[in-house]
């Protein structure tokens, strides 16, 4: 029996495992997914949590047991990946060694605010992010209490997970403040190190019309100061 090993039970890993479990002969393939997390998060929902929009308000809105999205034909191993030995086609985990014929890496990425000077210390104070469940929930109160001033949506560096999300956040912030009747008191700026705000043509064209009026391409953040 051939062995397909998927490292990561997030959206990518779950989709790959479930799709292949339906396409590959069950008697010929054994599909195993490995992840150390206890919960599977619908991460696109993080974007709406700071605004409490569309029913996204907290953990219950986006979190499910890590095993739940996986089909019955997929095996799951709760473990931390420690070493990938591709020459020997083996993976060392906290639960033991797993061998494979095919390996899929879907381990995602993590935030690294410490790589931008001053940003790590500022997070949770006057700098916030929605790229994490706890961070998105903690963003609710500061956003609700914000009445006037400048809101900068800043893409610190590339690559960034879901590049369009910061643009969506800027649009949602515009909608959020308009609903509260305070939009005229708040300036929203979008700064990115990329030469174009988005790979989407219509988004790029729209944001290009805002350049000089709140959208600033080719702006890389080297240091964050309060």
Looking at the predicted structure, is the pLDDT value of residue 219 above 80? no
- The mean of the pLDDT values for the chain is 88
pLDDT of residue 213 exceeding 70: no
Measure the CA–CA gap between 192 and 216, rounded to whole angstroms: 7
- Which strands make up the sheet holding 29-35, listed edge to edge? 74-78, 29-35, 2-7, 102-105
The residue with tokens 């997929």 is: 74
pLDDT attached to residue 125: 87
> Which DSSP category does 47 fall into?
G
More confident residue, 168 or 212: 168
By percentage, how much of the chain surpasses pLDDT 70? 85
Confidence of residue 39 (pLDDT cuts 50, 70, 90): very high
DSSP letter string over 76-89? EEE--EEEEETTTT
- Whether residue 47 has pLDDT greater than 80: yes
Rounded to whole angstroms, the Cα distance separating 154 from 166 reads 8
Q: What is the mean pLDDT of residues 62-75?
A: 96
Buried b (16+ CB within 10 A) or exposed e, 38-70: eebbebebbbbbbbbeeebbeeebbbeebeebb
Instruction: Go through the chain and tell me how many residues it has.
Output: 226
Q: Which domains does the chain have, with CATH numbers?
A: 2-105 (3.50.50.60), 113-216 (3.50.50.60)
Q: What is the pTM of this model?
A: 0.80
**DSSP letter string over 163-216?**
TTHHHHHHHHHHHHHHHTT-GGGEEEEEE-SSSSS-SSHHHHHHHHTTBTTTEE
In this prediction, residue 216 carries a pLDDT of 47
- Please tell me whether the peptide bond between 120 and the residue prior to it is cis, using omega within 30 degrees of 0: no
158-195 pLDDT, tens digit each: 677 887 899 899 989 999 999 999 999 999 988 887 76
Instruction: Flag whether pLDDT at 89 surpasses 80.
Output: yes
Stronger pLDDT, 156 or 40, i.e. the higher one: 40
Tokens of 1: 């029996």
Handedness of CA 45, 47, 48, 51 (dihedral sign): positive
What tens digit of pLDDT does each residue of 103-161 get? 999 998 888 888 888 888 888 888 999 999 999 999 999 999 999 999 999 887 767 78
What's the token pair of residue 25? 């002969």
| Ramachandran bin of 188, using left for φ above 0, alpha for ψ from -120 to 50, beta for the remaining angles | beta
Least confident of 72-76, 81-85, 118-122: 118-122
- Tens digits of per-residue pLDDT, 4-15? 999 999 999 999
Average pLDDT on 81-99 reads 97
**pLDDT bracket for residue 217 (50, 70, 90):** very low
- Average pLDDT score over residue span 72-98: 97
Tokens of residue 145, six digits: 């209490």
Sign of CA dihedral 150, 124, 50, 162: positive
Per-residue burial over 108-119, b = 16 or more CB atoms within 10 Å of its CB, e = otherwise: beebebeebeeb
């Amino acid at each position: 029996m051939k062995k397909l090993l998927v490292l990561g039970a997030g959206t990518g890993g779950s989709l790959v495992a479930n799709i292949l479990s339906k396409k590959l002969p069950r008697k010929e393939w054994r599909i195993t997914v490995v992840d150390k997390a206890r919960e599977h998060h619908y991460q696109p929902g993080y974007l709406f949590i700071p605004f409490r929009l569309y029913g996204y308000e907290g953990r219950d809105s986006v979190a499910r047991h890590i095993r739940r999205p996986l089909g019955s034909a997929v095996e799951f191993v709760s473990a931390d990946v420690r070493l990938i030995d591709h020459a020997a086609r083996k993976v060392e985990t906290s639960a033991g060694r797993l061998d494979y014929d095919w390996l899929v890496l879907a381990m995602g990425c993590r935030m690294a605010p410490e790589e931008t000077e001053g940003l790590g210390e500022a997070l949770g104070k006057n700098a916030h992010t929605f790229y994490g469940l706890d961070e998105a929930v903690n963003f609710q109160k500061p956003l609700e209490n914000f009445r006037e001033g400048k809101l900068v949506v800043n893409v610190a560096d590339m690559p960034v997970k879901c590049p369009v999300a910061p643009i969506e956040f800027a649009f949602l912030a515009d909608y959020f403040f308009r609903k509260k009747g305070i939009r005229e008191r708040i300036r929203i700026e979008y700064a990115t190190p990329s030469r174009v705000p988005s790979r989407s043509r219509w988004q790029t064209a729209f944001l290009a019309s805002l350049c000089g009026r709140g959208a600033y391409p080719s702006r890389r953040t080297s240091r964050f100061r309060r």
